[in-house]
Amino acid sequence: MMHTTACGAACKPTNVTLDEALIAEAKTLHIDISQATEAGLAPAVAESRVA
């Protein structure tokens, strides 16, 4: 099942392994884990492209 982001890009459900305590705190703070993960991954990909 594909979803779209706010900018309209197609999204694919993906499994990742993250720190359990960090996920629990993010949920408590109502942080969208998918958006936060994408926000961190996008600059890492961009940086790798220019390297």
What pLDDT digit, counting tens, does each position of 30-43 carry?
A: 999 999 999 999 99
Task: Flag whether 7 is in a domain.
Answer: no
**Is the residue at 9 inside a domain?**
no
| Domain extent for 41 | 17-51
Residue 25: the pLDDT is 98
In a domain, 24, yes or no: yes
pTM: predicted TM-score of the whole model, two decimal places = 0.73
Q: Is residue 39 part of a domain?
A: yes
Number of domains in the chain: 1
Three-state secondary structure of the chain: CCEECCCCCEECCCCCCCCHHHHHHHHHCCCCHHHHHHHHHHHHHHHHHHC
Checking if the pLDDT of 3 tops 80, the result is no
Is 5 contained in some domain? Answer: no
- 12, part of any domain: no
- The verdict on residue 8 lying in a domain is no
Q: Is residue 10 part of a domain?
A: no
pLDDT at position 51, please? 84
